[in-house]
Amino acid sequence: MTTSLQELLVGWITGQRWFAGKGRAIDDLAVDTLTELDPGDPALVHALVSVRQGERTTQYQIPLGLRAQVPDRLKHVLIGSCDWQGRRMCAYDAAHDASLTSRLLNGMDSELRVRRLGFHRVPGTSIDTSQRSLVLTAEQSNTSLVYGDMYILKLFRQITPGINPELEVITALAGAGSAHVARPYGWIEAELDGEATTLAIMQEYLSNANEGWTMALTSVRDLYATAQGTPAEDAGGDFAAEAFRLGTATAEVHAELAEAFPTGVIEPPEIKRMTERFRRRLEKAVVEVPALAGHAHVAYEAFDRLADLDQEIPVQRVHGDYHLGQVMRTPADWVVLDFEGEPGQPLADRRALDSPLRDVAGMLRSFEYAARHLLAGHPRADSLERRAQEWAARNRAAFLAGYSETGGRIRGQDAVFLRALELTKAVYEVVYEARNRPSWLPIPLSAFS
Ligand SMILES: Nc1ncnc2c1ncn2[C@@H]1O[C@H](COP(=O)(O)OP(=O)(O)O)[C@@H](O)[C@H]1O
Ligand SMILES: O=P(O)(O)O[C@H]1O[C@H](CO)[C@@H](O[C@H]2O[C@H](CO)[C@@H](O)[C@H](O)[C@H]2O)[C@H](O)[C@H]1O
């Protein structure tokens, strides 16, 4: 008896780290499209599949490799053997096969079109098609391929109909000459139900850059290792000057976004509606994570003060999920990655105009995360708590100073708004950690004091 591709995928997909429906049974997996990009041996076939789990159906993208025999180097990504065009073939995840992923580079360079799949090159760029890819090993909700040390191609695994905000934003900002985005080179899209949908984006790979999160943690470790009583500024590895520069870069990115996209203001009645949304999110979070219940009053009080706010709030396109893991320090400056908004939200919400203070709040929360995440299980956790507070306070202040001194707006009753935004972000984080990293839950819970 032969196994169909569909049956193989049901067994395989639940074990993939990008599979969003872990822990829930699959009711149905439908292969929506199979697009042959290369008929050779190995063959490259682009698959879109829909997975139904209860009420929810999620579409995923899988680049499939097909070979008569799979070499040892690809055995770890084998899906199984199935009948393909009358032959028995081994199917595997083609993202890991450099001889197949080079076709994606060629496709973008030559602006290939195969049925509903379109490959695009950013006008004015050329693509070096000789580069070979490796899969980035970072724990990710997508799969990123690094070609040589030149390009990084992010293959979205979960497919949301429409143009990805990341593509829209980096194309506009790079086109306007921003120093704070990695240059885009190309993208792949599909026409799904008549709507152009982004499947992958290729950008300049910042080979000589450090991730903000890693840099911040190095600084926190240095402070923890310094004798109590030594001021943070005298400990090795102080991060405050970098936090200030990051504030500056953030204000510049916000100014560039305001220039490139529409802007607006929201008035007090809309602020009240926004407060209602914050309250509903909190209510739902308490149901999902009962540990939040005892802390929720702190957020409700902040939301009550926000509802009474009597000023206009300027809105524009923003990053939407801004934290230290989304910024990289090159020798020249800070570069911002991943303008996709909060994962899991509908595309329309992720593209909606919002307050730039939402990003400021996200980064402030990230300083708290960096300061506290090494405390869990630390033998001196109690005595280091003061150090954590000191590190977070110092870097928050430096970031805010850099932001406002470069024209980022924080004035009037903005402190009330910022506090509510930080707490609504902490609510999101409580749910995120409960689902993904339960041992990190104390970090966002500590925001409610
Ligand atoms: N242009 C780039 N240059 C170098 N590294 C990058 C680049 N883009 C992403 N990365 C690395 O990949 C990681 C994940 O990228 P990101 O875009 O945030 O993916 P995801 O949306 O899956 O979290 C980043 O934290 C960074 O380490
Ligand atoms: O980078 P993603 O777009 O996948 O964002 C998600 O994962 C983040 C975790 O990597 C999560 O960020 C939270 O943890 C960070 C430390 O790992 C911390 O710096 C952030 O402040 C905190 O929110 C993010 O919320 C989530 O959307």
Q: Which tokens go with 131?
A: 């580069």
E strand residue ranges, 85-166: 87-93, 113-114, 117-121, 133-135, 143-147, 151-155, 158-159
Q: What angle do CA 438, 443, 446 make, to 5 degrees?
A: 125
| pLDDT for res 437 | 87
Q: How many CB atoms lie within 10 A of CB 17?
A: 10
- ipTM of this predicted structure: 0.96
Quick one: which of 393, 426, 410, 389 has its CA closest to 299?
426
Ligand 1 near 337 CB (within 6 A): yes
| pLDDT for res 139 | 59
| pLDDT for res 258 | 98
Q: Stretch 317-322: mean pLDDT, rounded? A: 96
Is the pLDDT at 3 greater than 80, yes or no?
A: no
| pLDDT for res 429 | 95
Q: Stretch 286-301: mean pLDDT, rounded? A: 97
* Residue 69 · residue 89 · CB < 8 Å: no
Residue nearest to atom 1 of ligand 1 (CA): 205
Is the pLDDT at 55 greater than 60, yes or no?
A: yes
Tell me which of 17, 157, 213, 323 to substitute to probe ligand 2's pocket, judged by most ligand atoms within 8 Å of the beta carbon. 323
Q: Which tokens go with 4?
A: 């169909």
Bridge partners (DSSP) listed for residue 362: none
Tell me which of 337, 338, 345 to substitute to probe ligand 1's pocket, judged by most ligand atoms within 8 Å of the beta carbon. 337
Ligand 2 near 343 CB (within 6 A): yes
**How far apart (Å, rounded) are the C-alpha atoms in residues 61 and 435?**
23
Q: Stretch 10-34: mean pLDDT, rounded? A: 92
| 311 contacts: CB under 8 Å, gap ≥ 6 | 268, 412, 413
| 446 contacts: CB under 8 Å, gap ≥ 6 | 368, 372
Q: Which atom of ligand 1 lies at the shortest distance from residue 325's CA?
A: 25
Q: Give, as one character, the DSSP assignment of residue 316.
A: B
Q: Which atom of ligand 1 lies at the shortest distance from residue 144's CA?
A: 12
Ligand 2 near 303 CB (within 6 A): no
pTM (two decimals)? 0.91
Q: Give, as one character, the DSSP assignment of residue 268.
A: H
pLDDT digits (tens, 9 = 90+) for 237-279: 899 999 999 999 999 999 999 999 999 999 999 999 999 999 9
**How far apart (Å, rounded) are the C-alpha atoms in residues 258 and 356?**
10
Q: How far is the CA of 337 from the centre of ligand 1 (A)?
A: 7
Return the minimum-mean-pLDDT range out of 10-24, 143-157, 175-189, 323-337. Answer: 10-24
Residue type, 29: L
**How far apart (Å, rounded) are the C-alpha atoms in residues 97 and 101?**
6
| pLDDT for res 347 | 84
Distances (CA, A) of 272 to 48, 334, 409: 41, 35, 21
Q: What percent of the chain has pLDDT over 90?
A: 82
| pLDDT for res 2 | 63
Q: Give, as one character, the DSSP assignment of residue 227.
A: P
Q: Which tokens go with 151?
A: 């390009």
Ligand 1 near 182 CB (within 6 A): yes
* Residue 352 · residue 286 · CB < 8 Å: no
| pLDDT for res 108 | 98
- Comparing 344 with 53, which gets the higher pLDDT? 53
Q: How far is the CA of 137 from the centre of ligand 1 (A)?
A: 11
* Residue 144 · residue 161 · CB < 8 Å: no
E strand residue ranges, 122-204: 133-135, 143-147, 151-155, 158-159, 184-192, 195-204
Most confident among 228-232, 343-347, 426-430 (mean pLDDT)? 426-430
Q: Which atom of ligand 2 lies at the shortest distance from residue 428's CA?
A: 25
DSSP 230-252: S-GGGSTT--HHHHHHHHHHHHH
**How far apart (Å, rounded) are the C-alpha atoms in residues 305 and 420?**
8
Residue type, 136: L
| 276 contacts: CB under 8 Å, gap ≥ 6 | none
**How far apart (Å, rounded) are the C-alpha atoms in residues 25 and 84?**
27
Does 42 sit behind a cis peptide bond, omega within 30 degrees of 0 on the bond before it? yes
Q: What length is written for the chain?
A: 449
Q: For the chain, give the mean pLDDT.
A: 94
Is the pLDDT at 98 greater than 70, yes or no?
A: yes
pLDDT digits (tens, 9 = 90+) for 399-439: 999 999 999 999 888 999 999 999 999 999 999 999 888 99
Q: Stretch 168-193: mean pLDDT, rounded? A: 96
Q: Stretch 173-178: mean pLDDT, rounded? A: 96
Is the pLDDT at 17 greater than 90, yes or no?
A: no
Q: Which tokens go with 166?
A: 């990341």
DSSP 360-376: HHHHHHHHHHHHHTTTT
Angle between helix axes 240-260 and 165-175 (nearest 10 degrees) is 90
Q: How far is the CA of 187 from the centre of ligand 1 (A)?
A: 16
Q: What angle do CA 327, 281, 430 make, to 5 degrees?
A: 55
Q: Stretch 35-64: mean pLDDT, rounded? A: 95
